[in-house]
């Protein structure tokens, strides 16, 4: 889409005022705040042209105009210039996260709190796909005859516990042998690789090592969970304090999404697929509940093939000039911290 410089200036001024106030913007306001030195009547004609092109809408006959999803997309892609956060703020964020120590869940939780505080929006930090996280160690604890707890330690301190039913004749000494065998076989490999190898080896298991290998493999297989990712969500209070509180239905829909983990994972995983900063605006999303909101996300990595997501969700009129560099910086800092420690 091509716009004249006058149309770009009018659209930019209108969007910036709408982000600031959340109210429809009239031609007189644009005339005062723009550098065009045009009359309100001329501005009104330009706004009418922008409306015909789907960039502005008019909630009421006598009201001003509001930017559409299409307008925000044009603004982000062609108008807005993003500047990095001040170096002092970058260093402060990095230092705060470094002080948490090499603990992945605590670091991600703290990152979500910082992100919410800086953006004044809802933040979401998604743990990596555990199928891509590398196996460090597994131990089996005999709780009572026939009942064992498996403790699987992954990259970054991720721990997965699961209670497993086993044969009642399995002893604590046998469990130590099983864990030693598994750790020797799979340490440093991703859970996806381990899972595939276990399935393959169980097909080929011979009778002579049935007692050790096959039982150990079966215990490891029972440890894995299909959907065990965690989302650290902070700042829902920010939504309640914003002017968007007037739209109760939109707010209710957003809270519904936050409660439905499967939809959240589906939304955030799009960022992993794009391998970079990703902004999804309102109607661009396939989720009906988020038509009034924008989602800004960026992936972080522990190792090159292990990705999680840092994200902010808020109203379409959020301050993109502040939120975008904050999300991007947080993802980069997390990647640096995890590569350093893990």
- pLDDT confidence of residue 48: 94
DSSP 94-158: HHHHHTT-S-HHHHHHHHHHHHHHHHTSEEEEEPPPGGGSBEEEEEEEEEETTEEEEEEEEGGG-
DSSP 265-305: HHHHHHHHHHTS-EEEEGGGSS-GGGTTEEEEEEEEESSTT
- pLDDT confidence of residue 207: 43
State how far the Cα of 281 lies from the Cα of 244, in Å rounded to an integer.
16
Highest mean pLDDT, choosing among 23-37, 58-72, 198-212, 267-281: 23-37
Q: Is 161 helix (H, G, I), strand (E, B) or coil?
A: strand
Highest mean pLDDT, choosing among 31-35, 77-81, 159-163, 305-309: 77-81
Q: Residue 86 — very low, low, confident or very high, per pLDDT cuts 50/70/90?
A: very high
Taking only the tens place, the pLDDT of each residue in 252-277 is: 777 777 777 677 777 787 777 777 89
State how far the Cα of 128 lies from the Cα of 160, in Å rounded to an integer.
13
State how far the Cα of 265 lies from the Cα of 255, in Å rounded to an integer.
15
- pLDDT confidence of residue 208: 43
User: Which domains are assigned to the chain?
Assistant: 5-79 (1.10.10.10), 87-129+229-341 (3.30.450.40), 133-223 (3.30.390.60)
- pLDDT confidence of residue 247: 65
State how far the Cα of 224 lies from the Cα of 65, in Å rounded to an integer.
53
> With left for phi above 0 and alpha for psi between -120 and 50, is residue 34 left, alpha or beta?
beta
> 24-33, 134-143, 148-157, 169-178: which has the minimum mean pLDDT?
148-157
Number of Cβ within 10 Å of residue 28's Cβ equals: 13
Q: Residue 136 — very low, low, confident or very high, per pLDDT cuts 50/70/90?
A: confident
Mean pLDDT of 157-169: 80
- pLDDT confidence of residue 110: 94
Taking only the tens place, the pLDDT of each residue in 294-310 is: 999 999 987 666 678 99
State how far the Cα of 110 lies from the Cα of 333, in Å rounded to an integer.
12
Helix, strand counts (H, E) of the chain: 13, 10
Of residues 21 and 1, more confidence is placed in: 21
Burial group, residue 147, by CB count within 10 angstroms (0-12, 13-18, 19+): middle
- pLDDT confidence of residue 188: 83
Tell me, rounded to whole angstroms, the distance of Cα 247 from its chain centroid.
Answer: 24
Per cent of the chain over pLDDT 70 is 86
Mean pLDDT of 95-121: 88
- pLDDT confidence of residue 282: 84
Is residue 9 within 8 Å of residue 33, measured between CB atoms?
no
Of residues 211 and 72, more confidence is placed in: 72
- pLDDT confidence of residue 206: 53
Average pLDDT of the chain is: 84
Q: Residue 182 — very low, low, confident or very high, per pLDDT cuts 50/70/90?
A: confident
State how far the Cα of 296 lies from the Cα of 210, in Å rounded to an integer.
51
- Joined together, the tokens standing for residue 135 give 């196996």
């Amino acid at each position: 889409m091509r716009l004249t410089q006058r149309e770009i200036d009018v659209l930019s001024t209108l969007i910036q005022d709408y982000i600031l106030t959340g109210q429809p913007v009239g031609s007189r306001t644009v005339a005062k705040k723009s550098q065009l030195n045009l009359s309100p009547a001329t501005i009104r004609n330009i706004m009418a042209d922008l409306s015909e092109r789907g960039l502005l809408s008019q909630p009421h006959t006598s009201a001003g105009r509001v930017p559409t999803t299409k307008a925000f997309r044009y603004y982000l892609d062609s108008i807005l210039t993003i500047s990095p956060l001040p170096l002092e703020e970058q260093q402060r964020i990095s230092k705060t996260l470094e002080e948490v120590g090499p603990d992945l869940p605590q670091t991600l939780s703290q990152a979500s709190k910082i992100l919410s505080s800086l953006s004044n929006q809802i933040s979401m930090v998604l743990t990596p796909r555990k199928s891509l996280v590398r196996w460090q160690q597994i131990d089996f604890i005999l709780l009572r005859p026939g009942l064992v707890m498996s403790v699987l330690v992954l990259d970054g301190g991720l721990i997965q516990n699961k209670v497993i039913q086993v044969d009642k004749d399995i002893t604590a000494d046998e469990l130590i042998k099983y864990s030693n065998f598994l750790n020797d076989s799979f340490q440093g490999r991703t859970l996806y690789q381990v899972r595939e190898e276990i399935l393959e080896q169980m097909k080929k298991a011979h009778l002579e090592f049935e007692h050790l290998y096959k039982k150990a493999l079966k215990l490891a297989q029972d440890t894995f969970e299909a959907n065990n990712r965690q989302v650290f969500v902070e700042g829902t209070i920010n939504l309640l304090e914003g002017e968007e509180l007037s739209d109760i239905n939109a707010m209710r829909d957003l809270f519904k999404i936050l409660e439905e983990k499967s939809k959240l994972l589906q939304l955030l995983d799009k960022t992993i697929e794009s391998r970079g900063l990703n902004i999804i605006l309102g109607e661009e999303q396939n989720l009906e509940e988020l038509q009034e909101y924008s989602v800004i996300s960026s992936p972080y990595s522990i190792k090159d093939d292990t990705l999680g997501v840092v994200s902010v969700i808020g109203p379409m009129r959020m301050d993109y000039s502040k939120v975008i560099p904050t999300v991007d910086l947080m993802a980069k800092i997390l990647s640096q911290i995890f590569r350093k420690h893990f």
